[in-house]
Structure 1
Amino acid sequence: MPTNKQRRVAAQRRLQRQLERRAELARRRRRNLLVVVTVLAVVLVAGAVALVAGLGGDDDPGAAAASSSSTSAAAEATAAPATTNADGTVGCTYVPDTSGNSNLVEAGTPPDPAATPATGTVSLLMSTSQGEIPLTLDRAKAPCAAASFAYLAQQRFFDGSPCHREVNAESFGVLQCGDPTGTGQGGPTYKFAEEVTPETTYPRGTIAMANSGSPGSTGSQFFLVFTDSQLPPDYTVVGTVDEAGLAVLDTIAAAGNDGSFEPSPGGGAPNLPVTIDSMTVVA
């Protein structure tokens, strides 16, 4: 028969083993939770990268592969940043897009780029199948983009084109337009440099220019921001949408998108189809 002391020792050993098993289970739960959190973080980052990457669209999908060749890279023209003149105007450089993209549409180039106005604003009326969206371009903030946008509007470049992509994410809500082919790969036959700073942000009501992701690849595609959007400062902010225009955008956004661009770059065509009937320079 075991003594009381032996029974106490045996009980203590059983308790110690139970405590060790509980501690091991707790360690496993913490390890599994850490793995789940890490995976979720990677998925969220990848999703954000994919959504942002989708704002590039003025280059042909095959251009990226072609640009890896040193010969193609050397032949590709480079869009230089704007330079400021003594009279306050700026010199803009609009260079030919030699990527071989078959979706580019000839539209000439903005006139007198060496003396582009860098003060004041340009008012546009974007008449769409879902309503009128007044736009204001800021020449002081983005003189080259404002001049190009207004020029293309005067050339009726945007008329009859669809807004091909909508994104309805919590921290990224935009309607993307400006491609006359409606493919998401179209634009003019010229390109120019981005006009951004490290402080560039994209709050609700922003008009910003899309690009291919490479420096100096801004063209005609633009996006209208209806939700404060967390994006890297890589896209030229060219102006703003007024409250009446935002009301139209909110109606479009409320209908959502068809998910045709999921999982990458994200979003899809608007469920309420949006066609730019006309883009008119008002003042």
Structure 2
Amino acid sequence: MANSNKSAREAKARVARMEANQALHQEQLQRRKRDNLIAFIAIAAALALAAVLALTVFSPKSDADATGTDASTSSADASAEPSTPAPSASAPVETNSPTVPKGETAQGKTFTGTLTLNGKPLGVELDGTKAPQAAAVFKSLADEGFMTGKTCHRLTNSPNFGVLQCGSLKGDGAGDPSYQWGPVENTPADGKYPAGTIAVARANTVYSNGTQFFITYEDTNLPQGDGGYTIVGKVTSGLDVVTGIAKDGIANGATDGAPNTKVTIDSFKLN
């Protein structure tokens, strides 16, 4: 009788252990599923953030945007990055502002000169054959001395996405609604902007270019879904000036924002 009771207790214990193991196994399965879901969401969020950064980084901010959020190029920032302003009433879609020079004035011409940042010169070249409208605009801005004293307000530092953006009217990234133009010209079909590229920043339409431009200090890939960004020229010497600024980093340790080193345009001269 004692042996029988012992056998019954052992059987119950085995059943209890088996049930406990099954419960533990089920709990582990649920935990793995939960962890996998969390990891998937985190990866998706990271990819979305990267896309946004890539899409918005070159967009001038809307003058009406007091929050400091960049307008989306949406394409992209792009990443990217937020609110998309309607085209300004003073510069309707597919209409240049009256003060914008005609592209014919630069057609077929090559302009060479110097862009000086913080006392350090960069040799530059603008291509009036591939981007006549953009070349005409920046030749005019250079001749008027518009860029003197302006700043480079934005720096990015991500893999395949390194740019310095300059030329904002007030130094805060906002565009000038009274000076907008198009179309987009000379954009790479593959979305690759080699190191040393000088391209034009814009907002959400192909006629929303303004006075802002960006320099890629490393090979950069940008979405081209909404037309891309006009490549107006290239840096022919002194790109190390920009890479040096990039090495100093971005405010608050960000990958997209104001450079730690304040960057001022001392002069922009073209022949």
Q: TM-score range by the shorter chain?
A: 0.7 to 0.9
Query: In the aligned structure 2, how far is the partner of 1:259 from the partner of 1:268?
Result: 9
1:23 positional shift: 4.3
1:149 and 1:231 map into 2 onto residues whose CA distance is 22
Q: 1:36 to 1:130 in 2, by over 3 A?
A: farther
User: Is this contact kept in 1: 2:191–2:222, CA < 8 A?
Assistant: no
Alignment of 1:107-126 (within 5 A): 108-110=99-101, 112-113=102-103, 115-126=104-115
Q: Identify if the C-alpha distance between structure 1 residues 24 and 146 changes in structure 2 by more than 3 Å, giving closer, same or farther.
A: same
Measure how far apart 1:276 and its partner are. 1.0
- Asked whether the 8 Å contact 1:204–1:229 carries over to 2, the reply is yes
- In 2 relative to 1, CA 67–178 (structure 1 residues): closer, same or farther, beyond 3 Å? closer
The alpha carbon displacement at 1:150 in A equals 1.3
User: What corresponds to 2:78 in structure 1?
Assistant: none
CA displacement, residues 129-187 of structure 1 (integer Å, 9 cap, x when unaligned): 15111122222332211111111111111112111222222332211111242121144
Q: Note if contact 2:113-2:123 (Cα within 8 Å) is conserved in structure 1.
A: yes
Match for residue 255 of structure 1 among 220, 230, 248: 248
Check the 8 A contact 1:57/1:184 in 2, yes or no.
yes
Give the distance between the partners of 1:8 and 1:67, measured in 2 at CA.
73
Query: Match of 2:96?
Result: 94
Query: Could you tell me which of 208, 212, 218 is aligned with 1:217?
Result: 208
| TM-score normalised by length of structure 1 | 0.73
Q: Which amino acid aligns with 2:235?
A: V
Q: Tell me if 1:241 matches 2:224.
A: no
Q: Compute the displacement of 1:281 (Å).
A: 0.6
Q: Which residue of 2 aligns with 1:18?
A: 21
Q: Whole-Å Cα distance in 2 between the matches of residues 52 and 66 of structure 1?
A: 12
Indicate the larger mover: 273-282 or 48-57.
Answer: 48-57
Say which SS state the counterpart of residue 223 (structure 1) adopts. strand
Instruction: Identify the match of residue 165 of structure 1 among 154, 166, 180.
Output: 154
Runs of 4+ in 1 over 6 A off after TM superposition: 3-6, 63-68
Q: Tell me by how many angstroms 1:19 deviates.
A: 4.3
Q: State the alpha-carbon separation in 1 of the partners of residues 164 and 188 from structure 2.
A: 23
Give the whole-Å Cα distance in 2 for the aligned partners of 1:231 and 1:7.
69
Q: How does 1:60-75 map to 2 (within 5 A)?
A: 60-62=63-65, 75=89
In structure 2, how many angstroms separate the alpha carbons of the residues matched to 1:14 and 1:67? 64
The superposition leaves residues 48-97 of structure 1 with CA deviations (integer Å, 9 ceiling, x where unpaired) of 415632421164135989976xxx97x554353xxxxxxxxxxxx6325x
Distance in 1 (alpha carbons) for counterparts of 2:201 and 2:217: 15
CA contact (8 A) 2:91 2:180 kept: no
- The residue identity in structure 2 corresponding to 1:231 is L
What is the alpha-carbon distance in structure 1 between the residues aligned to residue 63 and residue 107 of structure 2?
31
User: Deviation string for 1:85-120 (max 9, x for gaps)?
Assistant: xxxxxxxx6325xxxxxxxxxxx432x44x354435
- Taking the aligned partners of 1:18 and 1:133, their CA distance within structure 2 comes to 70
Structure 1 pair 48–61 and aligned structure 2 pair: CA distance change class (3 A): farther
TM (norm. structure 2) is 0.76
Report 1:173-184 matches (<5 A): 173-184=162-173
| Higher mean C-alpha deviation, range 130-139 or range 148-157 | 130-139
Q: Which residue is 1:49 aligned to?
A: 52
Distance 2:61 2:10 in 1: 81
The one of 120, 133, 136 aligned to 1:147? 136
Q: 3-state DSSP class of the match of 1:220? A: strand
Report % sequence identity: 35
C-alpha distance in structure 1 between counterparts of 2:61 and 2:139, whole Å: 18
State the alpha-carbon separation in 2 of the partners of residues 271 and 150 from structure 1: 29
Q: What is the RMSD computed on CA atoms of the aligned residues? A: 3.3
Give yes or no for contact 1:206–1:241 (8 Å, CA) kept in 2.
Answer: yes
Q: 8 Å contact 2:90–2:178 — kept in the other structure?
A: no
Count of residues in Structure 1 that have an aligned counterpart in Structure 2:
248
Question: Runs of 5+ in structure 2 lacking a partner?
Answer: 72-82
Rounded to whole Å, the distance in 2 between the matches of 1:58 and 1:138 is 27
Q: Contact conserved, 2:90 with 2:97, CA < 8 A, in 1? A: no
